[in-house]
Amino acid sequence: MPPKPKAKPPAKKAIAAKKPAPARPKAGGSAKSPRLKEPAAAARVGEIFHRLATANPEPKGELEHVNPYTLLVAVVLSAQATDAGVNKATRALFAAADTPQKMLALGEDKVRDHIKTIGLFRNKAKNVIALSEKLVAEHGGEVPRDREALETLPGVGRKTANVVLNIAFGEHTLAVDTHVFRLAHRLDFSKGKTPLDVELDLLKIIPAEYMRHAHHWLILHGRYICQARKPLCDACVISDLCHAPEKWFDGLPPDPRTQRKAAP
């Protein structure tokens, strides 16, 4: 009798390949925004601003003004100019015209004469008259407490609007100038490529209790201590919390093997 054929073993079920689990976002950031390094953790950020606040509890902007309107004009004039240079020009100007109505009565020619020591003075004089006209025509001669309205004024961009909102009205805005941009990168607060990117990163990490004066602390620290070419690290109250390679101590430059190009 012929042997029975062996039964075939049951076919093995195909095992579906497991899909890799989605990558979890790393701490401190997401796929949509640049990740802050670990040193920018909340405790470190808070300590940095605590020390800046202790060293200078009531920081003040250095542009001289007597009201929101003169502040607005001073900030418009400060583009590509120093605060000291603007103050020298505006003392006589604001003595003659400290409201939009008085500025219009003064006229563009006399405004230009007052500010001729400031760079781009011709174009700036036109902007001062034009923004004064718009304030009178659309806002009753008052500076609006609104970013969108401010940014419609001639010569006014986001940075100028942030300064006016913060200083004149106490808003928690943050103006990013060259000093703030530099410090944000040196302190690993941001990897942003533009002032707006840096501003948005800073707004996410600065504790609320420090937001009122945050941009003043950063500007003044960058202007007088954390300077672009030769930071005064020996005089810096946050030096031990800073991991930037471009650090100077006792007059000695940073090690050229580790130095990176400083942010502007």
Catalytic positions, please?
Answer: 159, 177
Query: How far does Cα 252 stand from its chain's mean position?
Result: 29
Burial of 77 (0-12, 13-18, 19+ CB in 10 A): buried
Candidates 173, 175, 182, 171; CA nearest to 222 is 182
Look-up of token digits 């530099």 = 182
Taking a C-beta distance cutoff of 8 angstroms, is the pair 94, 70 a contact?
yes
Cα–Cα distance measured from residue 51 to residue 43, given in angstroms and rounded to the nearest whole number = 12
Token reading at 92: 């006589």
Cα–Cα distance measured from residue 99 to residue 103, given in angstroms and rounded to the nearest whole number = 6
Cα–Cα distance measured from residue 143 to residue 72, given in angstroms and rounded to the nearest whole number = 8
What are the CA-CA distances from residue 6 to residues 1, 11, 13, 85, 168 (Å)? 15, 15, 21, 101, 93
Taking residue 167's Cβ as centre, other Cβ atoms within 10 Å add up to 21
Taking a C-beta distance cutoff of 8 angstroms, is the pair 35, 28 a contact?
yes
Query: How far does Cα 240 stand from its chain's mean position?
Result: 23
Taking a C-beta distance cutoff of 8 angstroms, is the pair 234, 249 a contact?
yes
